[in-house]
Structure 1
Amino acid sequence: MEMRVAYFDCFAGISGDMILGALLDLGLPPEVLDEGWRMLGLQGVKLRTKKVDRGGLTGTQVVLESRQKTVIRKYGEMREIIRGSNLPKGIKGASLKILERLARVEAKIHGVRIEEVHFHEIGGIDTLVDVVGSTLGVDYFAWDKVISSPLPLGRGWVEAAHGCLPLPAPATVELLQGVPIIPARLEGETVTPTGAAILTSLASGFDLLPEMVVKGVGYGAGTRDPAGTPNLLRIIHGAAQEEKEEGIWILEADIDDMSPEFFPYLNQLLLREGALDASQIPIQMKKGRPGFTIRVLSSASQREKLAQILLKESTTLGVRMYRAERLILSREQREVETKYGIIRIKVAFDKEGKIANIMPEYESCLQAAQRKGVPLKEVYQEALAEMRKIEK
């Protein structure tokens, strides 16, 4: 199944106006945003767009033109504008979530209640336009997943209502907790609080460029035009094949310092929590020490949980994870009547529908052997023999 993916490539940083510029450059119709401003009740608001050069690359820059006479800076005022608007429920909810994250951060930084927050640095119509416009754009493209690159943070100082603030801005740092960051090539503010709030609310992860077929690219330009560096946000729109549940991942960890008593417990725990298989392979590690590779086969949906179990329940400091292909025979479960009772049998078929393998189930054979007081191998052989009679 094809999945629509957006990758926010923030090589120069991100801000609210850069997001809008990139969305428009990617093909977002301006009419979608104009209708959004109308549903918000913002009269006389218009985004003017122009193509600009940034470091030899062309991008779209947006400039807000507003005839609004009312100055809006309080969080409560912005919240009520969105709540009372005619925006679709999903857009309204996403926009309120972003705005609340900004307000909670500001309240924490300045030591006030959230209702007392004034957006001195990021207030005004600009914030509403950036937040609501971004959610409208993401909704228009109907992406199933939004991923971002690690964010580059520049250093320096910025003038604010409370005086000079260090860069990255305190609000930005608070919003980026848990997000991978890297040093920026540019001096100054590269990630704004509004850009950070929007991206961390919309993105499901921060990683390298994912595998996909590129369908479109949009560049949003920042206000500054520093020499030698294109001050642009790039959004790459693409299609990826959604991972199927039967897709297999291999998780591995090499261990030479764990008590042997823990291995059976760990193996059973992994299987109980969804591992397709779990095994321990003897290996020789550094300095000739004997050790084991714990190998776990996992579906895509279970790999993160199983990796955390390995990290928590073993002595390993890391887990390798990689995808693998496997060929699976179609199979079904049958029952066969034997002198030891009914035994469950797994029967596998090749691509032509012929029987390729017959395997009595271990637990079923074990229970029969214990119940009848006979060797396990006799039950196993009897079940195979009866099954082969039926197949003839």
Structure 2
Amino acid sequence: MTQFLYFEPHAGASGDMILAALLGSGYPLKELNKVLSSLPLEEASVSLKTVTRSGLAAFRAEVEVKAHSSHRGFSQIQEMLESSSLAPRVMEKSVRVFRRLAQAEAEVHGIGLDEVHFHEVGADDAIIDIVGCVAGMEYLGAETVYCGAFPVGEGVVHCEHGALPNPAPATLKLLQGWPLRSVDCKKELITPTGAALLTTLARPGRPEGEFLIRQTALGAGKRDLPFPNVLRCSFGETSDGNGWERLVVLECHLDDCSGELLGYTMERLYEAGALEVSYSPVTMKKSRPGHVLFCLCRDATSRTLSRIILQETTTLGVRRSEVERKALERSMVTVETEFGELQVKTARDPFGRTRVSPEFEQARALAAASKVSLQEVYQAARRAFQDDA
């Protein structure tokens, strides 16, 4: 069984809608406000209430913060998050969301990343939205996050840059490569924050095969629209009966691609939802040394990933084949060691034996902070897991 979150943005998505849906799906409000207390924001908190949208009961998250900063640069936000006491995975993913958002803004305005100054996105309430959503997904323990097609309206939207086409240019930049559908609405349905969160942390599509829904919640938008202005979030588990999962392999041969391009391509593929990416040395025609790019993915992300391969490498084509994979059941648990708290991944093999693997980034941070070897932190994590078992 694999836990997942599935977002259905029928009416679009914004940071507060995603946050409300996560709170309704089992993320405790008390835990969220505990996370927010680790940020250098004055009197920041979130309240949750029930509202109705087109006759449907939904959750509405309202951010409360005493002091608002209307403009922040990306480097300021990154420094704020990295110097906070957020859990390493929450901090790293939050920075990733803001970086992707800053890159989109920089591209559409023709400026450098360091020149990007967020307006409404850089305000304190948006920082709360992004950090809160990342922390909520981590708390729920979903191994995979899915997102359905995004609705796009028409007309214009108004912001500090004036009247812009709907969706806003930065939003549309973030949505490149994702399934979209047109709707007859002249309102902004997807905010830059909502687009950055879902396109960074989720993969397009929905759970495949058999799955079980444990919890469903609706996150409400601010406005009343001609249709229910809600984002649906489902928390559940996938099950494939015999344990075999159907996947897709993308491959190509490369003989004129630099190491820098290969490394960057691998990063982009993982960010877009690839399950495994590797390069193998191969001798090609005319005795040229080259590489075979191997990318394992789900069918829902195969088109996006193949486009990335064609865009970022020198190949002229990509091969696609279907395979089946059987994976051990895995879960994440938190243990307390003498060096601090960290997560370990556990897996149970067919003979009932449990394998334990500490989370590398957290273990590395603890090793550096405690001035001990990484092996010592690993051993402490395994001992703590055995003591708790």
Under TM normalisation by the shorter chain, which class is it?
0.5 to 0.7
Residue number in structure 2 paired with 1:140: 139
Separation of aligned partners in 2, 1:250 and 1:126: 40
Deviation at 1:232, TM superposition (A): 0.3
C-alpha spacing 1:219/1:172, structure 2 compared with 1 (3 Å): same
Separation of aligned partners in 2, 1:127 and 1:186: 25
Q: Which amino acid aligns with 1:233?
A: L
Whether the 8 Å contact between 1:3 and 1:242 is mirrored in structure 2 is no
Question: Is it true that 1:236 corresponds to 2:237 in the alignment?
Answer: no
Separation of aligned partners in 2, 1:138 and 1:249: 24
Residue number in structure 2 paired with 1:11: 10
Question: Is it true that 1:87 corresponds to 2:86 in the alignment?
Answer: yes
Counterpart secondary structure, 2:121: coil
Deviation at 1:302, TM superposition (A): 9.6
Whether the 8 Å contact between 1:184 and 1:190 is mirrored in structure 2 is no
Whether the 8 Å contact between 1:26 and 1:235 is mirrored in structure 2 is yes
Counterpart secondary structure, 1:13: coil
Post-superposition CA distance 1:100-130 (Å, at most 9, x none): 0111111111111111111124220122111
Residue number in structure 1 paired with 2:109: 110
Q: Which amino acid aligns with 1:200?
A: T
C-alpha spacing 1:230/1:209, structure 2 compared with 1 (3 Å): farther
Deviation at 1:20, TM superposition (A): 0.5
Q: Which amino acid aligns with 2:101?
A: L
Whether the 8 Å contact between 1:18 and 1:61 is mirrored in structure 2 is yes
Whether the 8 Å contact between 2:247 and 2:298 is mirrored in structure 1 is no
Deviation at 1:187, TM superposition (A): 2.8
Residue number in structure 1 paired with 2:211: 212
C-alpha spacing 1:249/1:206, structure 2 compared with 1 (3 Å): closer
Deviation at 1:43, TM superposition (A): 2.1
Using the aligned pairs only, state the percent identity. 34
Q: CA RMSD in A?
A: 3.3
Deviation at 1:209, TM superposition (A): 5.4
C-alpha spacing 1:124/1:5, structure 2 compared with 1 (3 Å): same
Q: Which amino acid aligns with 2:28?
A: P
Deviation at 1:73, TM superposition (A): 2.5
TM-score by structure 2 length? 0.62
Q: Which amino acid aligns with 1:147?
A: Y
Whether the 8 Å contact between 2:29 and 2:47 is mirrored in structure 1 is no
TM-score by structure 1 length? 0.62
Residue number in structure 2 paired with 1:326: none
Separation of aligned partners in 1, 2:40 and 2:101: 22
Whether the 8 Å contact between 2:20 and 2:220 is mirrored in structure 1 is yes
Deviation at 1:244, TM superposition (A): 7.3
User: Which moved further from structure 2: 215-224 or 113-122?
Assistant: 113-122
Whether the 8 Å contact between 1:12 and 1:231 is mirrored in structure 2 is yes
Deviant stretches of 4+, over 3 Å: 69-72, 208-211, 242-251, 300-305, 318-323
Separation of aligned partners in 2, 1:120 and 1:243: 49
Which one has the largest radius of gyration?
1
Separation of aligned partners in 2, 1:246 and 1:54: 40
Residue number in structure 2 paired with 1:38: 37
C-alpha spacing 1:243/1:125, structure 2 compared with 1 (3 Å): farther
Deviation at 1:196, TM superposition (A): 0.6
